[in-house]
Structure 1
Amino acid sequence: MEYDLLARLVVSESRGEPYSGKVAVANVVLKRVESNEFPNTIREVIYQPGQFQVVSNGLIDRRKPSEKSKTAVTEALNTDNGDALYFYNPEIATNRWLDQLTTVEVIGDHTFKK
């Protein structure tokens, strides 16, 4: 189920981040589904090659959704998804092309871009 998959992505990508950061991670996926630049389903967006480190390293398959991640996904599904199409941690990211994009917001260790 795509809800469970999105919740597993959120728990995997936003460990240690505040609740608003968890919602924002879910929003990035949902915004990509709406965009013509990305695939049309949550599953396809999440499994698009090279997009999420937790997919590449298999962490997404080993994590169970937390209650907070489920609540964050529910909130994201029921609210405006904002403008961010990307997020990253600038302290550990090695690909710097995202630096060229417009920053939408910074939450915890993640910078959200469009």
Structure 2
Amino acid sequence: MALGQQAIAWQVFLGKTARLGALVLAFVTMVATASAQQVATLTPELLSSYVAHQTAARLQQDITFKPEQWLAPQAPTVNPEMLSAYAATKFVPTAKRVADAQKERLCLAQAIYHEARGEPEKGQWAVANVILNRVVSKRYPSSICGVVFQNANGPKFRCQFSFACDGRSDMGGNGNRIVRESWVRANVIALAAFKQFQAGQRPDAVPANVLYYHTRNVSPHWAQSFRQVSQIGSHIFYSPS
């Protein structure tokens, strides 16, 4: 049998002994790499002598179990001071988070309903898209309700969306079947768009830089200052030039 085959056979046989496995593996590796002139034949006597010498050498070493040398204590990632600072400045109770999310979703639904309930579905998505684009933009408030009702408490018709300051109720769905269905559809779109926004995304009905729109039956003076991007239904959409 060749030297390499002998080494493999001994390795398989002696590998069953867990305590000697490492020693045997080291010896077999040494034998496999040696030249034929240095080690001619692998015998049980030769292997036993090697193991005995290695065992004696290991007994002369300090093998005391010292876990403190390799399990060094680690400082906690959060301490009481950090928790107190977070609670005092950034903590928001879960109930308030839920209420705030519901309010934001309602504001978006109101805007979709009043601004685009007669538009095709893509047109309603586009209005939601513009509102969310404004939330992200530094030019507008950082919340959906802040964007939708911006300047609503100022002079009449100085708000961003006319329904927000026309003196009438902002809630929808009070009327015939078509009106009720339009309110339901606006809420469905608002819910889907809001979930996208919570996940860091926005609808792709219009590009992310589109911040303005108006209906085709008006010609506002500000439109000349912006770049027309698209027209969906009766709305024309613009982005800053």
Q: For this structure pair, what is the TM-score category when the shorter chain's length is used for normalisation?
A: 0.7 to 0.9
How far apart, CA to CA, are the structure 1 residues paired with 2:169 and 2:131? 14
Tell me which of 31, 34, 41 is aligned to 2:136: 34
Tell me: CA distance 1:69–1:47, structure 2 relative to 1, closer, same or farther (3 Å): same
- Which amino acid in structure 2 is aligned with residue 80 of structure 1? R
Higher RCO, 1 vs 2 (CA within 8 Å, ≥6 residues apart) = 1
Alpha carbons 1:23, 1:75 under 8 Å: kept: no
Tell me: CA distance 1:16–1:59, structure 2 relative to 1, closer, same or farther (3 Å): farther
- Which amino acid in structure 2 is aligned with residue 73 of structure 1? A
What is aligned with 2:215? 89
Q: Identity across aligned pairs (percent)?
A: 31
Q: How big is the alpha-carbon RMSD for the aligned residues of Structure 1 and Structure 2?
A: 1.9
Offset, 1:88: 0.7
Offset, 1:16: 1.2
How far apart, CA to CA, are the structure 2 residues paired with 1:59 and 1:16? 19
Larger Rg, first or second structure (1 or 2): 2
Q: Structure 1 stretches of 5 or more lacking a match?
A: none
SS of the counterpart of 1:92? coil
- Which amino acid in structure 2 is aligned with residue 14 of structure 1? A
Alpha carbons 1:17, 1:109 under 8 Å: kept: yes
What is aligned with 1:70? 187
Alpha carbons 2:132, 2:202 under 8 Å: kept: no
Q: Structure 2 stretches of 5 or more lacking a match?
A: 1-102, 152-158, 174-181
How far apart, CA to CA, are the structure 2 residues paired with 1:60 and 1:112? 27
